[in-house]
Structure 1
Amino acid sequence: MEMRETHSAPYDVPRDQWLYNDRCMAKWQGWILSDHSADMEFHEKNDQFVPVKPQMSDQDISSILNHAWEQNHQVSIQINDLYDNNFQRDIIGWIGGFDEGQITVINAVGKYQRVDVADIRSVSEELPKKWWLQ
């Protein structure tokens, strides 16, 4: 009886006959692309210069915060706080509530942040940057 060599899969081609050097990474390409996109978005957001906005009056700040609260609009808040001789990034989100001189801001991923109203330098109503957040 004659023995024949068999392959485990019907498309199992010897490596020396491959048309290109496959590093068996095809299944990881989606993951690598999404990680790269997230990294690019992170650096785009964090490597930018934060412009200094003019100091607003307490009345203007209160008026915009109340309107955003009533209409459920997103706000962008700049705090009077320098970090490495630069202002921190704006706090962007929706007003979740008011309590004893503080507001609660809820960002797009649902995290809460408490902000002292006295520390607010500037506030404005914002349109969401992502279409699915509108």
Structure 2
Amino acid sequence: MADVRGELYLPLVTQMERQFGEELPSYLEGHIRRADDYIDARLSRSFTVPFDRPPTVVVTISAKLAAYFATAHFSETEELSEDKYKAAKEMLTDLQVSGVLPGEQEEAPRGLIRGGGAEQVFTDDAMSDW
């Protein structure tokens, strides 16, 4: 909950507190659930979701999306938090493409083979002995 409040702009938090009073946490929780559902849908092809213990990056994405959803619903001016929405979508895309959560051992994406090693350049002279 604190993560979402931290993503909301202070004047908006003040207005929401006036409007919802003690119901503000419930209001935000509804948007957190929407954000979590969206995240699970986007990441379901790359990861087992829902996460038992969501990584910090997923919590951050959820907070940004929930703040965007709450702002759009409350003020009907989602442009106020559009930067949060764009950042969250970029983070989700990066997770999908990499197929790796921060802190996990990197594995090759499904269907691809990864190689490694130092690049070496051999001149025509060095290769002439072969």
**TM-score (norm: length of structure 2):** 0.23
Higher strand share: 1
Higher helix share: 2
> Greater RCO between the two (CA within 8 Å, min separation 6)?
2
**TM-score (norm: length of structure 1):** 0.22
Say which one has the larger Rg: 1
